[in-house]
Every structure is written in C-alpha cells, then in structure tokens.
A and B are shown apart, each in its own frame.
Chain A
Amino acid sequence: MSELLKVTHLHKEFGANVVLKDINLSVKKGEVVVIIGPSGCGKSTFLRCLNGLEDIQGGVITVDGLPVEAGKRDITKLRQKIGMVFQSYELFPHKTVLENCILAPTKVQKRTREDAIKEALELLDKVGLVDKKDYYPRQLSGGQKQRVAIVRALLMHPEVILFDEVTAALDPEMVHEVLETMIALAKAGSTMLIVTHEMDFAKAIADRIIFLDKGDIVEETTEVKDFFAEPKTDRAKKFLKTFTYD
C-alpha cells in the first residue's frame, strides 16, 4: 500500500515551550491510526500541524508527496485532501445543515449545487440525519452536530480525515452514535487519524496505536490488543491505568 501521509522530524514549539519534538510517522492509505496520551501531551497540536493550522519550527510533513506549509498560498489545495473534525463541531451557526455541507464543495471545489446536494443528502441519510437537513445547528443535539460535521468533511472527498477528540464534548449516550459513524467510515476504507480518550473505541477501530507523552512518541504498535493488555513502556502502563478503577 502506498504512503499517504509522511511526517519526518517534526518539531513544534510555542515560544520557549516545546510541544512536539522529532516526531516521525508514516500513514498508509486506508490505515486507521489512533493517537492517545495524557492531556497536554501535544496530540491535538500534532493534528493541527498536519493541515497547516499550526506552523512548525522544523521537519517536513507531506500529504500525497506535497509539503504542508502553513501560510503558503496553496495550503488551501492541500487542506482539501485533509478533512478535519473538531471537538466543538464548529458548524457554521448561520447556515442550515445542508448549507453547512455543500458550502465548501460548491465554493472551493466549484462543484455544481445539484451535485453537492445530491451527495450531501446521501451521506446525511447514511448517518440518519437527512430529515434534519433544513435545521440550524442550534436545533440539533451535540451528537447530531458532530455527525453533520463528519458529513461536511467527507463531502470534500478528503484522502485522510483528522478527528480531534470528537466525542469529548458529548454526553455519554451521544458518544456511541458518533463512534458508530466513524467505525463505518473505517470499514469503508477511509484513512483516519484519531485523537481520542475513548479507550474501548480505540481498541475497536485502530490499525495502529500511537502513545504520545510530553511531545514524544513513546510507544507505537500495530499489535493493538496487546498494547491495551500489556503495554511495553511504563509511561503507557501508567496512562492506561488511569482509565481503570480497582
């Protein structure tokens, strides 16, 4: 399988605060990579670097062989290849569900309105929200908003989708519906990078687990079940222990 996303020697700092040091990662097409780690370890910042929302102080990120450089003019072209779903959904509050979905495809990719609407309705139907197409975001629950946000990202036909703690702001009973949607995407062969605190979900969906701590990849493995049963490093052990009560 071909390499879709490649990160070499990524270095990111905010002033004197080094957030990511020498990160190397290569993601193949169709792979689902789950990034876990304690809060403040740099997971979200890492995702934000990947589509140029953060500038980087060293290293190279390429998507499809093209370098990601924040602030460059053609970053908008690259971002179309990289979908992103945020923790706080970030739907556009002044637009309906359908308008949220078709805005970028029609304005950025210059697809016809009919074409975009047709696909949007199909995808909304898949996530069970086609009857909400004319609702405004404020009329939806958190879980519904997040599923719309996923559909909105999918409509751009991204080659890889970044999920930044997409269930962290949701009530427990809504977490499930969003995770189901993501598992369906993974099964359909989407390339995904997921930052999450849902360990059972990570276990179920991941082809590869990356454990990040203090801006460093501490453990990386494709033996997902083994990782959760018996992590190799002490830091990962300690981290996983915080999710159990005994």
Chain B
Amino acid sequence: MELETVIGLEVHAQLLTRSKIFCTCTTEFGRAPNESACPICLGMPGVLPVLNRTVVEFAMKLGLAVHATVARSCRFARKNYFYPDLPKGYQISQFEQPLCVGGHIDIQPNGGSKRIGLTRIHMEEDAGKLIHGENLGDPNSSYVDLNRAGIPLVEIVSEPDLSSPEEARAYLLKLKSLLQYLEVCDGNMEEGSLRCDANISLRPKGATALGTKTEIKNMNSFRNVQRALEYEIERQRAILSGGGTIHQETRLWDATQGVTLPMRSKEHAHDYRYFPEPDLVPLVVDEAWIVAVRATIPELPDEKRQRFERDYGLPAYDAEVLTTSRPLADYFETAARRYPKPKVVSNWVMGELLGALNRSGKEIGACPIAPENLAELLQLIDAGTISGKIAKTVFEEMFETSASPRAIVAEKGLTQISDSSAVERVVDEVIAANPEQLMQYRAGRTKLLGFFVGQVMKATHGKANPQLVNDLLREKLR
C-alpha cells in the first residue's frame, strides 16, 4: 500500500518588541540569569498583566501579510499547567477567539508553487528557560531562568497541507523570510526566536481521513526539522507496513542520535482548562487600526521576486535568491540603481559577495562593502580603469577595509595600463628575454601565448589591459 505524508506545523515566533508582552522588562537577549524580571513576569502574588500594544500590531501585521482575517474582537485565555518555567501556573494565550484566522503562505518547492493554508495566528507569552543540572552544578537539579518569561510570541498554526519534509522546510524558510521582511521577528531558529513543532501522520495515498498523528518537538534548526520529519516518516511507515498502529504521542527529536523518542515525563496529562483571562479586557480591532497597520507592511518577498524578474529581467533563480531577505534585496537594488546592468550586479552579489559573507560568517546587514561601492567597482571595470581580475583583488580589499574601490585602486596603484606604447615596450622586453620560447611558439606551440601573457602581466603587476596585451603579443610573436 502506498502511503502519503501529512504534516502541519505550529511555529512560535518571538516578536521584536523592546519590552515584554505584559510588563516593562526588557526583551534584550543575553542578560545574566533572572536579571530581566519583575514582580509581573515572576508571577508574584497580586500582580496583573497589561497588554503591550506593539505586540498586537506586530501580530496583525503578520496576519495581514499572510492574507488572514483579523478578528474584529478577540480575547486572551489562560492555559493552565504546572511547570517550573511557567511562573503563574498558567500561560496567557489565546484560545477560543484568536487575533487572526485563516490565510495562507505560498511556497515554491522544486520550482513549482503550492499554497499552504493557515488555521490561525495568536498572541501569547513565552515561558522561562530550564537549564539541566549537568550544565550548571548539581546533576540532580534543574535551574530556572525567567528572563524569557513574558517575551511576546505569535503562534502560527498551519493546516495539514504539507506533504513532505522538503515542503515543511520550504514553508519554514518562507515564513522566516516573511517575519524578517515585516521586521517582527529575527527568525533565528538556533537561538530559539523561531521554534517549530510538527504534527505528522501517514495515510493511504488518496485517502481523505487523517491517520493517527505524532507531535514532534525540539527541532532547533531548519535542517533538524527536515531530518526529524524524514526519520519520523520512516518510523511510522515501518510500523504501518508491519501491520502496527501509531500511538498518538509527543516525541522529542534527538539530534545527536538522529531519532525521535517519546517524552518520558509524566507531565502529559493535557487538560489545560482554558478559560477567558479575567485580568485582561477584550480587544476590539476597528477598520482604522487595520488600515494603519497595513500601511506599515513593506513589499513582501513574493511581490518583490516577481518585480525583480519583470523590472530587472533577472532569471527566476536570481530573483529568488536576492529576495530571500529584505536587506539583501535592498542591497541589490541600491547597487543596481548606481550600476544599471542588473544581471552583472546579481552575479557579483550572488557570487563574490554572498561567498565572502558566508566565509566570514557575516550577515548582509553587517556587510563591509557598501552597495554604492560595489557599483563603483563595476563602473571601474567598465571604464577600463581596472581589469576584471584586478577587480577581484580590489573586492577582497574592500571587504577587508570597507574602503572605496577608487581609493584602493589609487593607493595601491592598480590602475590598468591601457596606453599601447607603454604595454608595447613591456611586450618587446618580454619577447627579447625569452628567445627559446619565441622559437618554440613560432614552431607551432601556440599554447605558449599564455606564458607570454603571464610574463607581461607579471612585469606590470597585473595592471596591463589584458586585451591589449593579447593583441600586441599575437602580432609580435607571429
């Protein structure tokens, strides 16, 4: 029996607000443990939450960007469970009336296009962090740091529309790129600002009813999401093919062993006893607020990609790569405005620039080469001031020092020699100094042209105009 895979993702994204969702503590990352906490986020007796307006606006912004319906009225609810990282014994979340319902995200797996439906987007508070004893003193203890408690999150729940780990990965990457475009989340999975749980099941191909699902947690990178889902599909396939049944449960991905394992804790009697949060009042969203938030939405990746193809005449692949992040797209556009040969700019950005960034572990936002300088470099090549080869040297220097290409060329005397009499003098000298090679060349070993070019370039420290050198050598060697 042929089986097909059904995956739905629940993604938690930390919102880039300055303060927490219900108090005024900072959301700044990397402070000493329990330094960013106050009576409210510590859940002390008597405290009350007050909602951060920017959280609502960020969540609405995301909702509008994915074509969701923003509810005219929504409310918060308490999700009750005990855990040491949850100070109040309940999480303030949304349940019956979330902020956003519906919507979709389009992904382009293997060059095609597929629409992934969204169930809902809601706001909630993050829990604190638990550190296991092995990493901090007593192995028989766990340690609690509540700096993260109360950081605002949105939970984005997809429909079970994903049918492979590749699609799940593409969906996540697309969502990350959207969140970054909107500047509501930094999208960093490794640091936990983007987290993903998956519901996964198999069913006979063509069936409409869903099979029994498992929930996979603890996948903390894009690659791990794909690996964990691949593993889980095979695990379920093996059970079903052997006539077994899937046990509905939560499983944790173990990246070291490369397997999913059932949770061992006894904490899984899930009866969250949701009820409307009495400490927060309902939220009413009117048209004017929606309009105001919509106005803050920038051009999104899909629109930008299409525009890059259309307006710059870029191949689909280039447009896709250049629009994965807003700073990269902006970089390209700034450079392309100064140097209006988009494909040349695209080649340099996707080749040299992304390569250098990758090697140095830098983000585009921290790129040492200003886009204006990249454009100037390309202009220098066109003007014949430097050769393409010298340009790569200049590029490296620019990446090192952030200096302008003109300054580097001037300082290092890298201006190309295009004066034919000057080049001719060097060509003559080189030929005179290598009589043996000259004889061989004239005897038919025309491959030695390269040797002569090399000698001339060496003598001119690479600055001779290569075309001119070639032309002169061909003429004089004959």
Tell me whether A and B are bound partners: no
* Residues of B bordering A, CB below 8 Å: none
A-side interface residues toward B, CB under 8 Å?
none
